[in-house]
Structure 1
Amino acid sequence: MRHTTIGDRSVSALCLGAMKFGSQTDDATSAALLDRFVEAGGTFVDTADCYQFWVEGFEGHESETFLGRWRRERGITDEVVIATKLGAQPTVPGTGPETKEGLSAAAVATAAERSRERLGVDRLDVLYAHHEDRSVPMEETLGAFAKLVAEDAVAELGLSNHRTWRLERARAVTEANGWPRPRVLQYRYSYLQPRFDRPLASTGHMHVTPELLDFVREEAAEGREHTLVAYTSLLWGAYTRPEKAAGLDPVYDHPGTPARLAVLDEVARETGATRNQVVLAWLMDSDPRVVPLVGVSSLDQLNEAIEATDLTLSAEQWGRLADAG
């Protein structure tokens, strides 16, 4: 298993998404997937306090609650880094984003405490702001995050689905106040690229842009490293399942898509890997480095992703893939 870093801590270069664990994925399967991931050297798991309120029969918190129970049953302590997110959980049962908890200081403090309780930890490994909340001054949100770090209630801070200019504003605010800056960024990203002149069909998703990649590279050059985590890295199975490809978001319906898929198939043949494995390797070999977040529902899917961490593309192959389309 490849490894990368979050701040000063080493984690697996592949992150296992636990969004459906304890809800749509039954407890036995969820535990088996986590056990296999850890057995293979995986040490980075992702969740949020709102997973999965939008699915009928669930209220949110199911993933965190399941992960806390799994940790206790397996005796897991600090060997597995669990990242969670706050800000998107509805405050009124049966409602949606219109009543989300948001990022006020009070909401941040309450949500973080509840996540610690559900996960069974004194300190959250990574805590993201799930989405922007422009109704709250950024100073208030970041000040609340800084307070959690000062209280040793959170180790690393992150921002998910924020505009690049908001990342720069966050940097300026934390620097001016001497607060810890968010060093983990989570966005939607994969090998196929969408049109950027049309919105994504998935409400709340924010895709990596060339500007964001440039921001992360320039920040690193100035000594401010970030870890970029990519969700929806395999586009819900669209690379390998025709029925998923047929239903892909219309923003991928442009001439660049078949061109990139053609090169993807070339490199897959050259390496003897699957399309999914080449996509994951391409992300892990990127500059800036990218940690693919994968959501799986079977051991076969998980093993395919784990095997991708042993695949290293040549510079020529990576460049050919990047330049296609």
Structure 2
Amino acid sequence: MDNRDPRIVLGTMDFGTRVAPDRAFAILDAFVAGGGVWLDTANCYSFWTDPAGVGGASERVIGAWLRARPGARDTVRIATKVRHNPLVPHAPDSAEGLSAHAVHAGVEESLGRLGVDHVDLLWAHAEDRSVPLEETVGAFGDLVTKGVALRIGAANHAAWRVERARSLARERGVEPWTSLQLRHSLVQPRPLTPVAEGGHRLLTPEDLDLARAEGLAVWSYSSLMWGSYVRADKPLPSTYDHPGTTRVLAVLDDVADELAATRNQVVLAWLMQQGIDPIVGASRVPQIEEALAAHSVRLDSGHLARLDGAR
């Protein structure tokens, strides 16, 4: 993986829908005040909770915050995604896809909502096997050439598809995907059991092998399992109901007690010490402040061995 120091990424999926703009502004302010840099959004956020039935709410809130905070664009880096925004309200099957036209149109609309002339990282939100990979690779590469996206990455893609796309980019002489975004956390579902959340792809050893061999950045989502580590009212999904989870949570409690940290902070520190940038969603300011404090949590080799051994 790349040699940067991993950092907490602010996930903004619920901004403008479940999280009202004024509260989102407060979270964004606290994130920047705490040294945060990267904001992660998508053009489809969050169509499933928006009465309009299409995405764009999160990007509009970020755009409004940037306008209200002169100089903020020089402080933060923005990552957004194309692929899943419905073309017909409330009809996810109508998603835009990853054709060259869809990629270019999606980014243009995102830039308008954000009020910026480029994004720092553009993700292909998921695979679109109805479109030749060569076409998608060319479209993303063209956006980098034009300066519309400074970096590009693949979210929820199989490792072999990412490597194939990188090979095609080299052949065409365009910028390749240099970042991966996948679901990952300390607890894991039962082996060979699909997760209930549609479209989610779990980080695999093959993904890490590819990232380490090629120097790719890795971002993880659902890093804190929607609050399930710390909230009794948000139990882990049934696919996590197995003896391994019980072992992991017991060790997690021991390590958290030893370090005077929260469960969430230990999980985030565990991810970052593997070179992974965890995406953390927040609906209140204290949640993002707690997450940012994980940068100061240091797990020694013994802690890591115990946590990994329980999984």
Q: Is the 8 A contact 2:2 2:212 kept in 1?
A: no
Report the equivalent of 1:36: 30
Q: Which runs of 5+ in 2 are unaligned?
A: none
- Alignment partner of 1:233: what SS? coil
Q: Which of 257, 270, 276 is the aligned partner of 1:282?
A: 270
Report the equivalent of 1:25: 19
CA distance in 2, matches of 1:292, 1:259: 22
CA distance in 1, matches of 2:47, 2:100: 23
Q: What count of residue pairs does the alignment treat as equivalent?
A: 309
Q: Which residue identity lines up with residue 61 of structure 1 in the other structure?
A: G
Q: Which of 136, 142, 153 is the aligned partner of 1:141?
A: 136
Report the equivalent of 1:53: 47
Q: Is the 8 A contact 1:162 1:206 kept in 2?
A: yes
CA distance in 2, matches of 1:56, 1:107: 22
Q: Which of 114, 117, 125 is the aligned partner of 1:122?
A: 117
Report the equivalent of 1:229: 219
Q: How many Å apart are 1:249 and its aligned residue?
A: 2.2
CA distance in 2, matches of 1:11, 1:213: 16
Does residue 1:317 correspond to 2:303, yes or no?
Answer: yes
| 1:180-220 deviation per Cα after TM superposition (whole angstroms, max 9, x unaligned) | 1111111111110122412110001111012211221222x
Q: How many Å apart are 1:94 and its aligned residue?
A: 2.3
- Residues 159-308 of structure 1 mapped to structure 2, 5 A cutoff: 159-219=154-214, 225-245=215-235, 248-286=236-274, 289-308=275-294
CA distance in 2, matches of 1:209, 1:239: 22
| TM-score, with length taken from structure 1 | 0.92
Report the equivalent of 1:222: none
Q: Which residue identity lines up with residue 231 of structure 1 in the other structure?
A: Y
Q: Is the 8 A contact 1:12 1:42 kept in 2?
A: no
Report the equivalent of 1:15: 9
Q: How many Å apart are 1:250 and its aligned residue?
A: 2.4
CA distance in 2, matches of 1:103, 1:124: 18
CA distance in 1, matches of 2:90, 2:14: 18
| 1:207-245 deviation per Cα after TM superposition (whole angstroms, max 9, x unaligned) | 1012211221222xxxxx111111110001111112212
| 1:247-270 deviation per Cα after TM superposition (whole angstroms, max 9, x unaligned) | x22221222111111111111111
CA RMSD between the two structures: 1.6
CA distance in 1, matches of 2:191, 2:133: 26
Q: Which runs of 5+ in 1 are unaligned?
A: 220-224
CA distance in 1, matches of 2:102, 2:287: 37
Report the equivalent of 2:82: 86
CA distance in 2, matches of 1:65, 1:298: 19
Q: Which residue identity lines up with residue 102 of structure 1 in the other structure?
A: G
Q: Which has the higher contact order (CA 8 A, sep 6+)?
A: 2
CA distance in 1, matches of 2:127, 2:244: 30
Q: Is the 8 A contact 1:12 1:41 kept in 2?
A: no
CA distance in 1, matches of 2:110, 2:240: 36
Q: How many Å apart are 1:79 and its aligned residue?
A: 1.8
